[in-house]
A and B are shown apart, each in its own frame.
Chain A
Amino acid sequence: MIEKILKGKSAYWIWLAFLVVFIAIGAACYVRQYLFGLALTGMSRNVSWGLYISQFTFLVGVAAGGLMLVLPYYIHDYKAFGKLTILGEFLAIAAIIMCLMFIMADLGQPLRGLNMIIHPTPNSMLFWDMVVLLGYLSLNVLCGWVILTAERKEVSPPKWIYFFVYTSIPFAVSIHTVTAMLYCGLPGRHSWLSAIIAPRFLASAFAAGPALIVLACLVMKRVAHFDAGKKALDKLSTIIMYAAIINTFFVILEFFVGYYSNVPGEVHTLQYLFFGLTEHGHVYNNLVPFMWTSVFLNFAGLGLFAYLKFKEGTDVMLGAACIMIFLALWIDKGLGFVLGGFVPTMLGDVVEYYPTANEIGITVGIWATGFFLVTILYKIAVGVEHEIE
Chain B
Amino acid sequence: MSSDSCAGSIEEGDALMDNERRKFLKIAGISALAGIGAPAIAKLTTTAAYAAPQHEEAAKAAEAGAEEDAVSGKQYGMVIDMRKFIEQPELLDQAIAACALAHNVPEFPPDKQKSEIKWIWKTPFENAFTEESFTHLAKNIEEAEFPVLCNHCAHPSCVRVCPTKATFKQKDNGIVAMDYHRCIGCRFCMAACPYGARSFNWEDPRPYVKTYNPNFPTRMRGVVEKCNFCGERLALGQQPACVEACKGSGAMVFGDINDEKSEVRQVLAKEFTIQRKPSAGTKPSVFYIV
Interface residues of A (CB under 8 A from B): 36-39, 41-46, 48-49, 103, 106-110, 112-113, 115-127, 130, 182-183, 185-189, 341-342, 345-349
Contact = CB atoms under 8 A, between A and B. Distances in A.
A124 B188 contact: yes
Given A112-B184, A121-B162, A346 B194 contact: yes
A126 B186 contact: yes
> Which of B112, B165, B198 has the most A CB atoms < 10 Å from its CB?
B165
A352 to B, nearest CB: 12
B223 interface: yes
Contacts of B115: 39, 44
Contacts of B164: 112, 115-116, 118-119, 121
A42 B115 CA distance: 10
A189 B191 CA distance: 8
B199 A45 contact: yes
A348 B163 contact: no
B114 A108 contact: no
A109 B43 CA distance: 22
B39 interface: yes
B43 A108 contact: no
A156 to B, nearest CB: 20
A186 B191 contact: yes
> Which of A107, A113, A187, A349 has the most B CB atoms < 10 Å from its CB?
A187
A188 B194 contact: yes
B163 A126 contact: yes
A48 B187 contact: yes
A113 B164 CA distance: 9
> Which of A38, A125, A188 has the most B CB atoms < 10 Å from its CB?
A188
Interface size class on chain B is 35 or more
Interface stretch (B86-94, B96-104, B277-285): B277-285
Given A49-B191, A348-B130, A37 B202 contact: yes
B36 to A, nearest CB: 7
A187 B161 CA distance: 11
Contacts of B224: 108
A37 B222 contact: yes
B200 interface: yes
A130 B188 CA distance: 14
12 contacts: A48-B191, A107-B185, A107-B186, A108-B224, A109-B223, A112-B185, A117-B36, A118-B164, A119-B166, A187-B280, A187-B282, A346-B195
B43 A120 contact: yes
B190 interface: yes
Nearest to B36: A117
Contacts of A109: 183-185, 222-223
A117 to B, nearest CB: 5
Contacts of B160: 123-124
> Which of A39, A43, A183 has the most B CB atoms < 10 Å from its CB?
A39
A60 to B, nearest CB: 15
Contact of B200 (A38, A118, A122): A38
Contacts of B221: 37-39, 108
A37 B157 CA distance: 26
A161 to B, nearest CB: 15
B106 to A, nearest CB: 12
A48 B184 contact: no
B40 interface: yes
B126 interface: yes
A346 B193 contact: yes
Contacts of A346: 130, 193-196
A45 B190 CA distance: 8
Contacts of A116: 163-164, 184
A44 B222 contact: no
Nearest to A127: B163
B120 to A, nearest CB: 14
A347 B184 contact: no
B218 interface: no
B184 A108 contact: yes
A348 B114 contact: no
A39 B203 contact: yes
A266 B123 CA distance: 24
A186 B157 contact: yes
B44 interface: yes
B23 interface: no
Nearest to B158: A186
B201 A124 contact: no
A187 B222 contact: no
Given A48-B190, A186-B157, A108 B222 contact: yes
> Which of B36, B114, B123, B127 has the most A CB atoms < 10 Å from its CB?
B114
